[in-house]
Amino acid sequence: TTAADIESAMTPVGGVIVSCRIIAERPKVIAELVFETKEGADNVVDTFNNQNVLSIDHCHGVSANNYVR
């Protein structure tokens, strides 16, 4: 999974992403995303928090735990 994969999955839900960086790849992918608006970030949290998200490249389940910082 790349930052671009994550951005393409999250942008339709959260809107403009200011930055996206991968923090860890194993044992789970952890990424930090900064959205243009708080509302966008809240939409992503509401949609994906505690969900299994399908990885676009690798077709495996990734657990999503989201929070607004």
Backbone angles phi, psi at 34, to 5 degrees: -120, 120
Count of beta carbons in the 10 Å neighbourhood of residue 21: 11
Going by pLDDT thresholds of 50, 70 and 90, the confidence category of residue 4 is: very high
Report the pLDDT value the prediction gives residue 52, as an integer from 0 to 100: 66
Torsion of CA 11, 13, 15, 20, to 10 degrees: -40
Report the pLDDT value the prediction gives residue 1, as an integer from 0 to 100: 82
pLDDT digits 0-9 by tens, 11-45? 999 999 999 999 888 888 888 889 999 999 989 88
- Between 1-5, 50-54, 60-64, the lowest mean confidence (pLDDT) is in 60-64
pTM of the model: 0.71
What single-letter DSSP state applies at residue 16?
Answer: -
Distance of CA 16 to the CA centre of its chain: 12
